[in-house]
Chain A
Amino acid sequence: MVTKPVVLLGAALHTRDIEPGQDYDWYVKTGEMQLFEKMADIYRIGLRDVGGEVPKVAVIIDCRRVGFLVGDLPSKREDHGHRLIYDTLYLEFDSQYQRSVLHAVAVLLLCHKNHYKHYELHFTDYAEQLFYNLHAAPLLVFETVHLPIVDKQPDFSLTHLQADKLVLLSNQVNRNRCARYLIHFTHQEENSFSFVSTGRVSIKKCQQIADKTDECLLLTLSSEVESEVNLKKGRLFGWW
């Protein structure tokens, strides 16, 4: 895995501890974060407790910041019921690292299922470092994070995406199209943008996520989405 170090501004961890009562929650919030609340909302609506084996990732670009979330990271810890504990890691960067973050997301979208495990492990290590340094908050446990670099080009023959507020079925073709879009993404200063890749999340919930930013691109496994849905048009014509 080829990675590059990126300077971190803040980090948070959603996990649980062993005993009853130590339930899933945001256990760690370190550094100085501006987009965390918005990301926590998006996570609650569209990434938590979601079925389907696809990358569970999200990005927000707003206020000269970039927030990056990667979920469903299997830790080595078990709770009191011997259930494996899953981590969700949130990292926040300055907007100058937007390209690095979006490229990292593209890597996760483009990689083969078997390779995804290596990236999961990579981010789980950071998540567990945060967990074992619970009491270090609000200080940053680490100052840089190594993000994967694009080592595989997307398929340029596929139809180019025009993101507005778009929901796409999460299949290989659409993941490829989104990766391409993210690699070549240019942010307009006045607009906020979000990207979410998740499992079986309904259009209604996708709409709730889309409402949080000016532009948004969503990948879902929901059977309600056959190929793609423009949420702005859908709302206009009252399709749901």
Chain B
Amino acid sequence: MSNKTAMIMVGPDGVGKTTLLATMYHELSGIENETSFELVASKDTHHDLQDAYNKLSTITAQPTFTPTGSLLKGTAGIVERQFKIWFNGNKELELVFCDIAGGLIRAEKGHPDMDEFKNKLEESVVIVNVIDGSALVEGDELLFRRKNEPVQIHDLLLSPLINNKNRLLLFVITKCEAWLKNDKGRKKLEAAFETQYQIILKSIEGFENVVAVLIPVKTLGCVEFTRIETKGDEKEIIYVRKPNLLFQPVDTDQPLRYAIAFALAQHNKNRTVWDKLRRWVRNEEFAFQKALSEFAQGHRRKFKIYGNPSLIEVTE
């Protein structure tokens, strides 16, 4: 049995996929302090994501109350980030997390990266759809569709979801700092998501093998939506850095926490008979389930769940 588990991020260019990955990794790289699991990136992945995080942290050097510029380069193709999960000093699982160029979601047949992209999508047990929260709440239909492309995402997701493999789908909303200040804002975000993504959510309800979680996050914490400006025929969303706020990602560990817990649970379920027997003899199974349960305790209960919730329930 292969110990490699694939995960992929999808979403149009500019929604913040690479930013999310860099902050997710940074927030969760110290999990060994709270559980028996340890997330270790390969040295190259660590350097790349740490470089990206360091660049993001320079946001505080940008002027306040003026439109912010982006800090990371756009992705041009498919980038694989390699991680390992260790349990009690033993390698338990290898994770390959794919970051993609946003344009790939609408690439046509014959595109040099298309086959690789489709294969990665099919083999991924966790699919993260990153959504631009400002366009979701404040954008008109045209702007929302231009920024988030829900129709293309729906079409892309159908093929991997339709087979019987268990999948976790994470809808991660970025650029939504302005709505995460109170419950009213959160509810507004959730309502906008459920309205705009009702076709995808309806499809998910029809699959027993799929569970989805809606996770709004603050990737930067100090940059907020202010207004929408019209330039020529196009509308543009303006974000500014707030002077009284720090660079402080919030809840960015949560998508990776859900993803890892799901991957470990699936991995445990799919062990070979021989492996199960070996673990039973050594009394490892109980310790593993206990650790997984502790790790899953780190899930925030406030996130909305769609589809089959039993797929992410972890019991000791």
Contact = CB atoms under 8 A, between A and B. Distances in A.
B69 A82 contact: yes
Interface residues of B, number: 32
A81 interface: yes
B48 A23 contact: no
Contacts of B73: 83-84, 86
Interface stretch (A44-52, A157-165, A166-174): A44-52
A185 interface: no
Interface of A: 14, 16, 19-21, 23-24, 44, 48-49, 51-52, 78-86, 200, 202, 221-224
B103 A24 contact: yes
B111 to A, nearest CB: 9
Contacts of A82: 67-70
Contact of B76 (A48, A51, A200, A223): A48
Contacts of B101: 23-24
Nearest to A23: B103
B74 A44 contact: no
B47 interface: yes
Interface of B: 12-14, 42-44, 47-48, 51-52, 67-70, 72-77, 79, 101-104, 106, 112-113, 146-147, 234, 236
B260 to A, nearest CB: 23
A83 B44 contact: no
B13 A20 contact: yes
Contacts of A49: 75-77, 79
Contacts of A52: 47
Contact of A23 (B44, B79, B102, B146): B102
Contact of A20 (B14, B42, B76): B14
5 nearest interchain CB pairs?
A: A23-B103, A81-B14, A223-B43, A24-B76, A51-B48
A81 B47 contact: no
B70 A83 contact: yes
B75 to A, nearest CB: 6
A21 B14 CA distance: 11
Given A48-B77, A51-B48, A200-B48, A21 B103 contact: yes
A83 B76 contact: no
B72 A83 contact: yes
A21 to B, nearest CB: 7
Residue among B44, B51, B69, B72 with the highest chain A CB neighbour number at 10 A: B44
Contacts of B236: 80
A44 B112 CA distance: 9
8 contacts: A20-B103, A23-B104, A51-B47, A80-B236, A81-B13, A82-B68, A84-B70, A202-B44
A15 B68 CA distance: 23
A80 B47 CA distance: 27
A81 B75 CA distance: 12
A21 B112 CA distance: 16
Contacts of B147: 20
Contact of B14 (A51, A79, A86, A222): A79
Contacts of B234: 19
Nearest to A74: B73
Contacts of A80: 14, 236
Nearest to A83: B70
A81 B51 CA distance: 20
Contacts of A202: 44
A205 B47 CA distance: 18
A48 B48 CA distance: 13
Nearest to A72: B73
A20 B146 contact: yes
B12 A20 contact: yes
Given A23-B76, A85-B74, 8 more contacts: A20-B103, A20-B146, A49-B76, A51-B51, A81-B13, A83-B69, A84-B70, A221-B44
Nearest to A14: B76
A221 B42 CA distance: 13
Contact of A83 (B74, B103, B106): B74
The winner among B47, B68, B74, B113 for most chain A CB atoms within 10 A is: B74
